[in-house]
Amino acid sequence: MNANKRKNIALVTGASAGIGLELTRKLLSEEWQVVALNRSDFPKEDTKIQKAVMNGWLRIYKTADLTDYDSLRGTLEEIRSKERRIDILFNNAGGAFHELSYSKQGREKHYELLTVVPYLILMELKELLKNGSLKTVINTSSSALKHVKEFNLEILERPKTFRKLFGPYAASKLALSLWTQAIAPQLAQEGIKIRSVDPGGNNTLRKGKKSGLPIVVSLLMKLFFSPPTHGANLLYEAALREHRHETGVFVLKGRIAQLKFIDQAVNVLERIHEVYEHEFLGSAPKVV
């Protein structure tokens, strides 16, 4: 194994498909090591990916379901036991669901996956980040958050209605960007920078998978949206280029943008930290 020749290490969640896969490919091409936290397998026909695995440049950790706390907890423990440091954490895993559904913990699935889980991963891997050189967190957000007309934590966790893309998905991405801004001063004291980033419009439709997008948006995506390499480049640039020294900001189209409902940022952070302490840590098996 000659992984040590690759100086920087990035952890990418949702690295095996879409933007996450293209980001993994880009990082590997730029001489990074990549730690992948995935639910599904990488494409077996991708020879460059398979070579990276054989050489130890790409190390894969799998979880059955990111929203299943028992599964996620075990995978994060494995990462902590085997990895020494992380320079950049890309909280990228996500997706838009086609119907209203709930996690095992009883919260709406978009909110659990897109808002809460990135916080759990950050908290559990924070010591590895502190051991790294760049100490940077990039949370994948979305421009869909601009369409949120009403923001309420109770509705966010257990909505009474469902609307594709512009309902729970958009609100959950807004909540992600809000807690990103709220936690920035606290993380700065530990030398960690954090940003939320819109990866732009990307054609991430997958055959055989029900779409969580409105029909019109799906058609537009097929016809006009960029391939996932576009989003991967935007995430990479947000981590390492112009805004690399910024923290707590939301980056939209390469520029820092203002968030709506900013008065709710601290409330979101407090709520998900409570989930982390009482549900994620509180339900962990006791070591005797």
- Distance, CA of 106 to chain centre: 21
pLDDT of residue 95: 87
**Residue percentage of the chain with pLDDT more than 70:** 93
Q: Tell me the pLDDT tens digit for each residue of 185-240.
A: 999 999 999 999 999 988 776 666 677 777 776 776 676 677 899 999 999 999 99
Query: How many angstroms separate the CA atoms of 241 and 122, rounded?
Result: 22
Q: Is the pLDDT of residue 1 over 60?
A: no
Q: Are 141 and 173 in contact (CB under 8 A)?
A: yes
What number of residues does the chain have? Answer: 288
Catalogue all structural domains in the chain, each as residue range(s) with its CATH number: 3-281 (3.40.50.720)
Give, rounded to a whole angstrom, the gap between the first and last alpha carbons of the chain.
37
pLDDT of residue 13: 98
Largest CA distance in the chain: 58
Query: How many angstroms separate the CA atoms of 153 and 206, rounded?
Result: 31
> Which is it for strands 33-38 and 58-62: parallel, antiparallel or unpaired?
parallel
Q: Are 220 and 238 in contact (CB under 8 A)?
A: no
Q: Is the pLDDT of residue 2 over 80?
A: no
Q: For the chain, what is the mean pLDDT?
A: 93
Q: Tell me the pLDDT tens digit for each residue of 112-162.
A: 999 999 999 999 999 999 999 999 999 999 999 999 999 999 999 999 899
pTM of the predicted model as reported, rounded to 2 decimal places: 0.94
Query: How many angstroms separate the CA atoms of 268 and 285, rounded?
Result: 27
